[in-house]
Amino acid sequence: MSEPTREAWISEAAPGRTFAEVGGLWGTVNEQVSVAAGAGAAATTMIDVAPRDGSAGDLWKLFRERTDALGVSPPSCVQASIDDPALTERVGSFDVVHSSGVLYHCPQPLHTLMQLRAITRETLILGTATMPETVENVAGSVSVAPGAALLVPAMSHSQRAVLGQWLTDNGASCALGVNRALDSDWAIDDYGAWWWFFTRDHVAALLRIAGFEVVNVASYWNGRATLYSARAAGPPDPVVG
């Protein structure tokens, strides 16, 4: 089920605005297009990388069936990756954008946030898994500095064991690359892999660099994830590197 805070933020931001969701097909019932439509969004769009050939369980069909059953206006559907540089030319921009459960699956999260900034005119509502600065459980302990992030391919076996257990304790026992083996060796185009463990402040800094101002922050998933409401605050800062 969706979190009440997320639904409240979307319901407040969406009326009379164009709304897009990025990566909302997984799980189907967690999508927020129907929430935005029910709140009075002017138009809604789903953008997701899932193929249309049914190889992913025909998620697009399930999504259409859900929105039809809920009686909301038919959304536009775009099969694409948020990281595709050509995406902005295909879809344009939207007043309000929501994306959840996506960022830590992206190998280049700053690029992903800059892509989100490019399609966001007013408000981004972003949900992502995050970790506290210390995680302790039966597998051991992992501590990171404030504002840090861990790249999963670079983590030690002991770090992976602790954070894998931390996810398992909350029902996420199939985090690819963490507590479940990958079929490939960290292919850069593998969006099923769990690439990152971010701290809350790390994501806030990435949002600022990408051109957003964080307005509200809330914890969910038993402290294992963070929801951000951010305002588009100008063009992304130049990235030096």
Tens-digit pLDDT profile for residues 119-170: 999 999 999 999 999 999 999 999 999 999 999 999 999 999 999 999 999 9
Reported confidence tier of residue 236, pLDDT bands at 50, 70, 90: low
pLDDT for res 1: 42
> Does 241 have pLDDT greater than 70?
no
List, for residues 84-112, the tens digit of each pLDDT value: 999 999 999 999 999 999 999 999 999 99
| The amino acid at 117 | R
- The residue whose two tokens read 């998620």 is 59
> Domains in the chain and their CATH numbers?
4-130+196-232 (3.40.50.150)
List, for residues 110-122, the tens digit of each pLDDT value: 999 999 999 999 9
CA angle 215, 126, 186 (to 5 degrees): 140
pLDDT for res 58: 87
CA 171 to chain centroid, in Å, comes to 18
> Does 226 have pLDDT greater than 50?
yes
pLDDT for res 237: 47
| pTM metric for this prediction | 0.94
Which is more confidently placed, 234 or 120?
Answer: 120
> Does 19 have pLDDT greater than 80?
yes
> Does 28 have pLDDT greater than 60?
yes
Determine what percent of the chain is predicted with pLDDT higher than 70: 95
CA atoms within 13 A of residue 182's CA, in its CB half-sphere:
15
* Mean pLDDT of the 16-36 span: 94
